[in-house]
Every structure is written in C-alpha cells, then in structure tokens.
Amino acid sequence: MATAPQLARPIAITMGDPAGIGPEIVAKAFRDAHEDTRGCFVVGDVATMRRAAQAVRREGDVDLPVAVLDSSSEAISLPAGCLGVLAAVTLAGPVPWGRVSAQAGRAAADCVTWAARAALRGEIAALVTAPLHKEALAAAGVTFPGHTELLQAESAAWLGKRVADVPVRMMLANDELRTVLVSIHMSLREALDAVTFDNVLQTLRIAHEALARSLGRAPRIGVAGLNPHAGEGGLFGREEIDVIAPAVEAARAQGLQVEGPFAPDTIFMRARATPGKPGEFDAVVAMYHDQGLIPVKYLGVEKGVNVTLGLPLVRTSPDHGTAFDIAGTGRADASSLIEAIRMAKRLSAAA
C-alpha cells in the first residue's frame, strides 16, 4: 500500500494489551517507519512503552526516544522517530509478558475508550488500535468482546442513540482483496442465524457508503453465498434463495452495484486484484467471520488491515492478535500495523 498523506490533526495509536506484542510493534513502527508515524502518538502507559522500546532495540542502535505528552496536539510537532506517549493509564508495575491479566485487560480497554472519545470530539483524525486479548478483557470485567463492540457503544453514546441504531461492520483489506462481514464475533451457530434479509442488506449499504467515500466512486460489490456452491439451487440449503438473493435485489433496486450470491469457494479468487489484472469486485460481502477473514489472511497477515465501517470516526488495526507466545522477544512483525497507520491516514483524508 502506498504511503499516506500527513494530516493536520494527529492520529492516536493505542498500545494494545501490555502483555502482548502491541507495544513492541508500535515501537518498531516508530523506529522503522518515520514518515508513516509522523504526526502519530501512542495512547498508553509510559513505562510499558519504554520497556517495548528496549525490547526492539537492535545492537548498535541508539535508544528510541520516548516523549511524554501533555496533549494530543503536541504530537504534530514531534521529530520523526520520536515515540510520543500520552499517559491515558498508569500501571502499578510491569505486566508479565505473555500472561492474561485483568490489569492488562483494563488498561488496554481504557486506552481505546480514551482514544475513541478524543476522535468523537474531533481532537484526533483517527485511531489505530494495537491488539487486545479477549480473555484479559473478560478478566477485567469489560463487557465488550473486542474493539468493534466497544467503539460502537462509545459512538452510540456520543450520538445519543441506541447501540442497535449505530450498525457497524468489519472490513479486512490488503492490496489484493477487501472483504466485509455480515456478522463478527459470535459462534458459528449464532452466525448462521444472523444471515437475515435485514442484516445482509444493511451490510451492503454500509459497505457501499464506506467504499464510495474512500474510492471516490460507486464500488462493485460481490456477495458470497452461505452454503456450498451457493446452495446449488436449493439442494444444499435455501438461504441463498430465501434471504441473500432478495437482499441483493433490494440493494440493486436502491442503485448499488451488487452481484451474487456466488459460490463462496470461488468468489474471493474472482475479486482478488493481481498486478495487471484488477479483480471483478472492489469488495466481497461474506456471511460470517472466518469465511471472509481466511482468504485475506492467507494472502499475508503482514499486509492486512482491519477497518471498522459505520462508525462516526476512522478506526483501523492490524489483522492479527496479541501473540503472547513471542511477546517480549522483539520478533513481532510491525508490517500490518504500519499498513493500518497508512490506511488510517488515507481514510481520514477522504472523510
């Protein structure tokens, strides 16, 4: 993905779970991608970020400078390669690497909440979120299973609406493929029940509106079926006939460029853009989490970016988790986070 333009307002990067690789990949991004991180700052615990800077220090390098900020606006004037931290939380002591803890879960959630509210107030241009750990959130008593639901609730409160009236969707994207999900974090059994006319049509509308802003034109959207061979005319299930196809027709009647449902084992290949050959679709709407995320992640976790569609703010994140097994070793790859920062800058400029 191309380097994004710089913005007048800063971009906040939340540190993620302090026991995971989030702080490390953030420190690596500031160490290695000076132009991409210019105008960015970290929302987190200062001691955690200093520890992360040491974890990624290479032999012969000078220490990555860490500056403590009093306000987000100070990030704009920081020199390239300086890691600015706004101390939204202060941990009592270092959190052990790679271990689930309520303290870590609470700190990570509080950082996201701070950044969301700053974005809703217009103080920052966007937020980029380093990975959370769902077990740590639960241990801390956080009632949201992940970033998406927390940000949805904060946005609804800011807008004075019910959460149900601020529908959001997850999009995972890289240079080759974009996929938008009808349902996100729920069991497969529940996800099947979520394939309703209203949910599919709402997903198509959200995807269309978001992509139209970022692409500057009406997007071409392909829709994956739920069942093998897209139901094979009802032989393997009727969801395509009774639910998905009617939603597609309703979207087309509203002027959206939508086609499908197509066999889910081939539509992602049709949508994939390769050098010299654009894909047939700008995005694929997938019926459930793994159906849409496996193809994108298979193309390269280091390239993927998670974007939340439907929020009154810009939020992106890397497409991987906390990787507790390698936390603290300095081995974590920051490529996906850097792509998420670039994406956040481009989406902010288009908003």
pLDDT, tens digit, for every residue of 15-74?
999 999 999 999 999 999 999 999 999 999 999 999 999 999 988 788 899 999 999 999
Q: Can you read off the two tokens belonging to residue 256?
A: 């959206």
CA distances from residue 8 to 253, 297, 315, 347 in whole angstroms, order as listed? 40, 32, 17, 14
Q: Please give the domain boundaries of the chain with CATH numbers for all domains.
A: 1-166+309-351 (3.40.718.10), 175-299 (3.40.718.10)
pLDDT in tens, 224-265: 999 999 888 888 999 999 999 999 999 999 999 999 999 999
pLDDT of residue 328: 93
DSSP states of 287-304: SSHHHHHHHHHHT-GGG-
- Kindly report the pTM of this predicted structure: 0.90
Query: From CA 181, how far away is CA 260, in angstroms rounded?
Result: 15
SS3 214: helix
Query: From CA 86, how far away is CA 73, in angstroms rounded?
Result: 10
pLDDT of residue 2: 47
Mean pLDDT in consecutive groups of 10 residues from the start of the chain, 351 residues: 61 97 96 94 97 90 91 93 95 92 96 97 97 95 91 96 95 93 90 96 96 93 94 90 97 97 95 89 96 88 87 94 94 94 91 69
pLDDT of residue 232: 87
In single-letter form, the type of residue at position 154 comes to E
pLDDT of residue 199: 97
